[in-house]
Structure 1
C-alpha cells in the first residue's frame, strides 16, 4: 500500500534496518496521535525487512493490566526456542509466558528475552515491532525497554508505536514523531480512498482531519454512506482525532442491528480478541452466527482464527466510549461471568469496571489479584490494582491500607512520584500515623531518597515509633542517622541514634544479635572524638555481619571508608545488588550501585567504577531518584578530576550543587567542592584548589561536612604547600594523624605520613615519606600510593638524588598510566625528565657567574625547557606569581627579553648565549 507524504520517515526506517543488518542494533519509538499512521509505518518496515525474522505484538487496553500479556503474543511464534536458553533464563521466561509455575524474575526475564532475541539474530536480523505501546502491560514494556537499550551490537531493531513517548520504560530511546500530512499529500490520500468524491468534500475532509490519515481515510466514505449526515462535522477547523471522528465511527455502528452493536461493545470491553470468550459472553445478548457475519462484513472487526481485532484502536474507543454506562457495566459483568474459574485478575478488572460505587467484594478480589502480581514481580500492575481497590473500598481504613500497599508496590518498582501521591491519598483517608504504620514508614524513605535529609530524619524518627515490627523500626532509625549525616547535623544524628538504642528487639533473635553491633557502630563513628573509640576490628565485624540485612541497615560508604573497612562492605554491597536485581527494586539497586562505584574507585578499579556509576545514574534517572543520581555524578566527578577532565568536573559538580544545596544535602555539596578542588590541584592551580577545599571546614558553609573535610585534608595541605602558604596546614595534618591513630585505617596512616613529610624539611621529611610507603596495605589505595611516590620523587630530585628520584617517579608514573590519571602522570614524567639532565655546574658560592640566585637558576632552567609559569610553580612548590618575579630578575641579569632567548642560554657553561646553529 502506498504511503503518502512519508518519504522522510520511510528513509529513516530504511537506514535503521540497514544498520541493524550490519550489526548495529537500536530501538526507535514511532509516536503520534491516534490514527496518524504509526501502524502503517510499522507495517511498511515489516514489509521492508524481507530477510529478517519479524516478531510483532500489539498492546490492548484491557490487557494493559495483565502482566506479560504482550510478551506472550510477541514470543509465541518462537516459543520452541526456549530450550536454547540457559536453564534459569528459560525457567523465568516460561513462568512469564504461563508455561510453568516458575516465578518470573524481572531482571532474569529481561536477560532471557535478550538471549533469545540475540540467538535469533545470529541466524538472521531480527525486527521487533510493538504497536500501540501505550497499552502494552508494564511488565512487558519494561522487559522490551531493557532489550532495546542492550542491542546496540546485535542485528536487532525494535520499533515501537506509541501515542506519547512520556517518561517510562521507553524513556531514553530515540524517537520519531509522526506528524499530520501536508495538505497536498492529504488530498492525494483522499483521492485514492474516494476517487469520485467532489472537490468540496475533499476540501472539507482535509480541513477537518488536520492531516490525520485515518480521518482522511474514513470521513469521505462515511459521508457517502450516511447521505451527507457528516457534512456539519466537516466544516470545522483542523483538529486532532477526537470527538468528531469518534462520532463518525459511532454513526457507522448505529446503522447495525442491536445484537451486532452488543457484540462490538463486548469486543471493545474485552480488548483481548478472544473469540471464544466473546461467544460465551454474548450468549445472553442474542449474538448468533448472523451477528458475527454482520460485524465482520461491516469491516470494523477482523478475524484470524480464534482471535479478533478492531480495524483500528480508534474504532474500539469509539464503540466503548459511545455506549451508555449501563451497557458498559452489563458488558463487563457478562465477560466476568464467562471467564474460567482461574482467571482471577481478568475477572477482578471486569467487575471493577462494572462497579458504580463502593464494593468490598470486588475490592478484595482486586487485592487478591495484586498479590498475584507481586509474586510475579509485576509491581506497577499491583499498584494499579490496589489503587482501584481503594477506590471501591467502603471503609476509609481499608482504602488507606490498600493505598499504602499500592505506594509500596510503586516504590519497589521504581515509580517514586506515584508512591508519593498514593501515600498522600492514604493519609487523607486515615491520617499520617496510620499510613506510616501501614506503609512501613515509606514517607521517610521517599524523603531520604528524593527530598531534604533533615525532613527525612524527622519523618523517620517519628515513624519508627509506630511501625509494628522491631526490625523495620531499626531500619528506619538507621536511615534517620544516615539522613542526619547527609545533612551534616551531628545533633540530629545523636537524636536518631538515641531512638535506635531504645528499640526493643522483642522475639526476633537475629535482630537481638544484630542491634548491639549497630549501636556500637553508630556510637563510635563520630569524628569529633567525643564518643568512645572503637577498633577497626569492631567496625569491620559490623560491616561483615550486615551481609544478610536490608540495605537500609548499611552505613554510609564514606564512613566505612574513613574507618578503612571498605573491603567487607564491598562484598556486602555486591550481595545486596544481586538480591535487588532479582527483586527488581530499582531505586535501592541504583543506590547500591552508586556505593559500589565509590569503593571501586578507591581500589583503583576505575573502569568498573565508571560502569557501575553510569548504570546507577541511568537507573536513578529512570525512576526519578535525584539524590542517587547525584551520588552517581559525584563518583563520576572523582574519576573526571583524577583524569584531568576539568570541563566534565565543572559540569558534574554544577549539577550536583543544583540538587544538593537547595535541599541541604551537605554530604553531596561537600563532595562537589572537594572534587572541584582536586581538579584544580591536579591541573596545577593550587590557589584555586585551596579556595574550594577550605570551604569544607568553614562553619556554616553549604559544603561544610566533617567526613569529607577529613578526606579533603590531604589535598588541602598539598595545595597550601604548593602556593607557599603554611598558615593553617598544621590543623588538617593533626586531624588526619589523630584519625589514623584512632582507627588504624590504611588510607589515614598513608596520608598522615605523607602530609607530615610535605610540611617538614631535611631528613625528617624523608623519614615520613619512607614511613608512608611502608604502611601495610598501601597498595589497596593505588592512586594515593602513587601520589605519595610522586611527592617523594620530587623531594629526592630537589635533593639532587636523581637515581633514587627516578625510581619513585617511574613507579608513580606507571600507576597513574594504568589508572588513566593523565595530569599526574604528565607531572611525574616531567620530573623524570629533569632527573636525567646533567648536574648543573657547581659554583663556589651563590650568586652564579651571571648573578643569579640558586632559585632563579632553577626557574630559568625550567623556563628554558618551555614549561609554563604554572608548571614551574608546581614543580618548585612556589606560586606562579613568584615564578614571574624570578623570571623578571633572570631577564634583567642576563640581558635578555624573552623565553626564546632564554632557550639559547648555555646553563652548563658561563650562562652566555649559545652561538646560533648553522646549516
Structure 2
C-alpha cells in the first residue's frame, strides 16, 4: 500500500470543502480504472479554482494504484518532450516490452538513443503502449497539471493518449486553464468557484481573528468563490482592516491579484531569501541540487532557506515545489529584468553542459542582456538536437530565440529562415510570416530568397490545400532554377502536385496547364531519378499530349523497383501510385500502393498514412474487396480521432458509392463539397461527383448520374486527374439517350485508353464503345471487354461488363444468353457486397425470365459495435494483436479486451473460427 509522504497534505486533499460533486465524479473514475477499463478526464477552470487540489484528492483516493505525474512549467515550454519525460520516466523499465519501432521512438525522443526523428503519432502510440504494459501489473493513474504550459511535443503525445485509452486500466486526468483544440471532445470536468456558503466556510477556516461581515461578503463575491483567492487575498489586510471593514480588495484580474499577493509575501523577506525564491522560480526542473548550486554562485547561503519556506510559498526537499504555479509566476514576474538575468546566468553556470546542454543554453538565452553570437550558436545546436529527437516545436523555439540574439544581419536572416521552415514543419504557423519578414530584412543570397518563396508555398499548401499554393511553388522553382537545379526540379514537381490537387479551384496562373508549361522549362537532370522522370512525364502530359508522356512515366514507375532510401521514397510514392492509376496500369497501381502503405507503416510515418491508405483502399474497392477497404477506412478514422484533425473521408465516400449507400452518400457529399470548395481542394470535388455518378448508375437513376458525371468531368485541362468519371458519363448518357454527350465522353476517354494499351484501359474502352454500337459490333466489343477485364484484378469492372452485356442481350430479346450474363454479374456483385449493382442485375434477370439466387450472407456484424467489427475484420484476416493495435492506434490490451467480446457475441473461441462466420476480405 502506498502511504502519503506528507500526511498534512493528504488530510487536506481528502477534506475538500464544497467539492462533493467533483469528488464523486473522480471516485467513479477511480472505480472505472479499478474495474479494468480506462478513462481520460479533462479538468479545466481559472487559475486558483482548485484543479490541483482535485488532482491531489485523486492521488489520495488511488492508494494501491501506480501513480505518475507531469507538471507543465511555463519556462520549460521549449524543451522537447520535457513534460512527457516527467510522466514516463518512472515507467521506462518496461520500455523493452514495447514493439519496435515504438520503443525506438521513445528512446530517441528522450535522448536515450540516436535515430531518425520519430513521427509524433508514433511517439503517442508508444506512450499509450508503455502505459498499457505498466498497467498490467497494477492500475495506473496519470496526473498532468498545467497542461497549457507543457512543451508542444509532450502536449501532442498526451492528447493522443487521452483520445485512444480504452481497456488498459489506466486513468489519465489532465488539468488545464482553458480548453484547446487538441483536447476537444474529451470528457470534461469544469471547475468553478465555490458556492457562497462553502466559500464563506473556507474563508472562516483560514481567518485567525474577527472579520467585518461586509468584508467577508465582499471577499466571497469578488473572488467568485475561487478557493486560492479566498485563502490568499485576506493576507493583504491587517487584522484591524478585516475587523473594521476598511480595506476592500482592489479591482483587477483575479489571477493577477493572486500573483501580486504571493509576490508581496516574498517581498517582505530579506534579500537572500527573495533571491533564493527567484532562483527556484526560474528553474522549472525542480532539481534542488541545481537550485543550491546556482544559489551558491550568487552568494546565497543555506540560512535563506528557512524564511523562504516559512512563508508557505515553497517546499525545499528532495524536490523544489511551489505552493501553487501562481506563486512561482508571481515571484518571477515581480523581479526586475536585471534580477531575472542574473538568476538565469547563475542557473546556466550551475547546469552541466555535458548532461543538459539544452536547458543550459535556454538559461543563457534568458540571461543575455543583448545579442550574443555564442549563445545563439548554442541555441542553434540545441535546435538540431531537438529536431533529431522529433521535437520540432522545440527546435522552432530554439531557432526563433537564436535569431533574436543574432546581431550580424546575414546570420540573423539565416536563422530566421531556418526557424520559419521548422515552424511550418512543426505545424505551428502563427510566427512564420514574422520570421520570413525578419529574414527578408537582412541580406539574403539568391538561394535564400528562393527558399523564402518555397516556405511561403509550403505554408499556403498545408493551410488551405490549394488555391495560391501552385503559383507560390512556381515562383520559388523559377528563382531556384539557376541556383539549385535539383531543388528547382523538386519544387516544380511540388507545384504540379499542388496544381493537380487544386484542380478547378486553382487561382489564375496556378492552374495545371500554366504550371506544366513552366515546369517544362526546368533544367534537365544529369542522371534522371524517379522524381525527375515524374516531373518530365507529368509536364509532358499537358504540354505535348497524353501519348507523349507515357514512355517517361512508365520508365519512372519501372525505376521505383530499384532500392531507394525509405525517407526519400516516401516523398514521391503517392505521386508514383496515382501516376500508375492515371496511365491505367492496374498492376503497377497494386505494387506501388502496397509498397507505399507498407513503408509508411514500417517507418512509423503516420502523417503519410492517410494518403497511402486512400490510394490502396481504392484499389481494394475496384477489386471488390470492400471489407479490406473498410478496414483501411477504420485505420484512417483512427488517425483522424488520434490527431484531432478533419481529414476528408475519401475512403468512406468510395465505400458508399460501391455499396449503394444512398443516405450515406448524401451525408458525405453534403459535408465534403462545401469544405473542399472553401479549402480550394478541387480534386476532391471531382471525386465527390464521380462517386455520386457511380452510385446513381448502380441505382438506375441515369439522369442524376449523367449530371454528376458531367460535373466530375467538366474540368477539361486535366481529364486524367481522375480517370473514372468519363466511364460513368458514357454509361449514364447512353441510358439517358443523350447520344452527343456519350460520344463526346467516349472520344475523350479514347484519347487516353487507346494509347495506354493495358487490358484495363482497352477493356473499359471496348465496354463503352459497345454501348454506342449495334448488332454484331456491339456483341464483339462486349465479349472483348469481358475477355480483357478478366485478365485484370479489377473484378468490379468485370462484373459491370457482364451486367451491361446481359442488359444488351435482354434488349435484343436473347433471354437465355442474357440470363447467363446477368446471373454471372449478380453472383459477382453479391459476393463482393455491391448491393445496388446486385439489385440492378437481379431486376434485369427477372425481366429476362430468370430468378436471382439467395442473397449471400454479408457477415455477422449486426451485434458488434463499430470498434469490435474493426478488430474482428483484422483478426479474421490474420493480424496479430500488436499489429491491430498499431493500425487502430490503440493498445494490444484493448484489442484483446474487444476480441473477447467479439468471441462471445459470435459464439466462437478463436481467430480461426472467425473465418467461418465472417466473410474474408483478403486484406493486403
Q: What is the TM-score normalised by the length of structure 2?
A: 0.80
Does the 8 A contact of 2:617 with 2:629 survive in 1? yes
- Secondary structure of 1:146's counterpart equals helix
Alignment partner of 1:335 out of 341, 347, 371 = 347
Partner of 1:160, secondary structure, is: strand
| 1:201 has 2:221 as partner | no
**Counterpart in the other structure of 2:664:** 648
Please point out which of 516, 519, 523 is paired with 2:540.
523
Q: How does 1:731-770 map to 2 (within 5 A)?
A: 731-770=744-783
SS for the counterpart of 1:165 is coil
- Which digits, 9 at most, give the CA deviation of each residue in 1:379-412, with x for residues without a partner? 1100011111112222333232222212222222
Tell me, yes or no, if structure 1 residue 45 matches structure 2 residue 58.
yes
Instruction: Identify which of 85, 88, 110 aligns with 1:75.
Output: 88
Aligned to 1:130: 144
- The alignment status of 1:317 with 2:332, answered yes or no, reads no
Specify which of 685, 689, 705 is matched with residue 701 of structure 2: 685
Contact residue 489 and residue 523 of structure 2 kept, 8 A: no
Kindly indicate whether residue 490 of structure 2 is the aligned counterpart of residue 475 of structure 1: yes
**1:828-839 → structure 2 map (5 Å cutoff):** 828-832=841-845
Mapping for residues 30-429 of structure 1, pairs under 5 Å:
30-86=43-99, 88-100=101-113, 105-106=118-119, 107-168=121-182, 170-194=183-207, 198=211, 199-223=213-237, 234-235=248-249, 241-305=254-318, 307-342=319-354, 343-419=356-432, 422-429=435-442
**Matched residue, 1:824:** 837
Report what 1:564 is aligned to. Answer: 584
CA distance in 1, matches of 2:499, 2:563: 21
Q: In the alignment, is the contact (CA less than 8 A) between 1:270 and 1:335 conserved in 2?
A: yes
CA distance in structure 2 between the aligned counterparts of 1:280 and 1:100, rounded to whole angstroms: 29
1:27-52 deviation line (CA, Å, top 9, x unaligned):
22222221122112222233333453
- How many angstroms apart in 1 are the aligned matches of 2:245 and 2:384? 52
Q: Are 1:669 and 2:690 matched, yes or no?
A: no
Question: In structure 1, the residue corresponding to 2:166 is in which secondary structure?
Answer: coil
The 8 Å contact of residues 546 and 572 in structure 1, kept in 2 or not, is answered as no
Does the CA-based 8 Å contact 1:505-1:512 persist in structure 2? no
Contact 1:21 1:125 in 2 (8 A): yes
Report SS of the residue matched to 1:780: coil
User: Aligned to 1:55, what secondary structure does the other structure show?
Assistant: strand
Partner secondary structure for residue 47 of structure 2: coil
Q: Offset at 1:561?
A: 1.0
Residues 575, 539 of structure 1: CA spacing in aligned structure 2 closer, same or farther, 3 A cutoff? closer
CA contact (8 A) 1:37 1:214 kept: yes
Q: Bigger CA drift: 116-125 or 511-520?
A: 511-520
For residue 787 of structure 2, what is the aligned residue in structure 1?
A: 774
Offset of residue 476 of structure 1: 0.4
Contact 1:797 1:805 in 2 (8 A): yes
Deviation by residue 1:152-194 (Cα, 9 ceiling, x = unmatched): 24332221111222234x4553433322333233223323443
Q: How far apart are the structure 1 equivalents of 2:736 and 2:521?
A: 51
Alpha-carbon distance, 1:335 to partner: 0.8
**Of 274-283 and 511-520, the range deviating more from structure 2:** 511-520
Rounded Cα–Cα distance in structure 1 between residues aligned with 2:367 and 2:547: 65
Alpha carbons of structure 1 residues 677 and 619: separation in structure 2 relative to 1, 3 Å: same
Aligned to 1:707, the other structure's residue is in SS state: coil
Residue of structure 1 equivalent to 2:867: none
Counterpart-to-counterpart distance in 2, 1:642 and 1:737:
25
Q: CA deviation at 1:261?
A: 0.9
Answer with 1 or 2: which has the greater Rg: 1
Question: How many pairs align?
Answer: 827
Distance 1:699 1:780, change over 3 A: closer
Matches within 5 A, 1:696-707: 696-698=712-714, 705-707=718-720
Asked if 1:541 corresponds to 2:558, the answer is: yes
Q: Give distance in 1, aligned partners of 2:663 and 2:190.
A: 33
Kindly indicate whether the alpha-carbon contact (under 8 Å) linking 1:749 and 1:772 is maintained by their aligned counterparts in 2. Answer: yes
Q: How far did 1:497 drift?
A: 4.1
Counterparts in 2 of 1:257 and 1:699: CA distance versus 1, 3 Å: closer
2:122/2:606 contact within 8 Å kept: no
1:317-351 CA distance string (max 9 Å, x none): 11001111111111111111111122321121112
What TM-score, normalized to structure 1?
0.81
CA contact (8 A) 2:18 2:198 kept: yes
What is the Cα deviation at residue 260 of structure 1?
0.9
Q: Secondary structure at the match of 1:29?
A: strand
Quick one: distance in 1 between partners of 2:643 and 2:127? 22
Whole-angstrom distance in 2 between the partners of 1:432 and 1:171: 44
1:328-380 deviation digits (Å, cap 9, x = unpaired): 11111111111112232112111211234322222222111111111111111
Q: Equivalents in 2 of 1:551, 1:373: separation in Å?
A: 23
Output the CA distance in 2 between the equivalents of 1:2 and 1:293: 28
What SS does the aligned partner of 1:129 have?
A: strand
Alpha-carbon shift at residue 131 of structure 1 (Å): 1.2
Measured in 2, the distance between the counterparts of 1:313 and 1:504 equals: 58
Take 2:424 and 2:641, find their aligned partners in 1: how far apart are those partners?
Answer: 14
- Which protein has greater RCO, CA pairs closer than 8 Å, 6+ apart? 2
| Aligned alpha-carbon RMSD (Å) | 3.7
Contact 2:70 2:143 in 1 (8 A): yes
Structure 1 residues not aligned, in runs of 5+? 840-919
Q: Do the aligned partners of residues 658 and 269 (structure 1) sit closer, same or farther apart at CA in structure 2, a change above 3 Å counting?
A: same
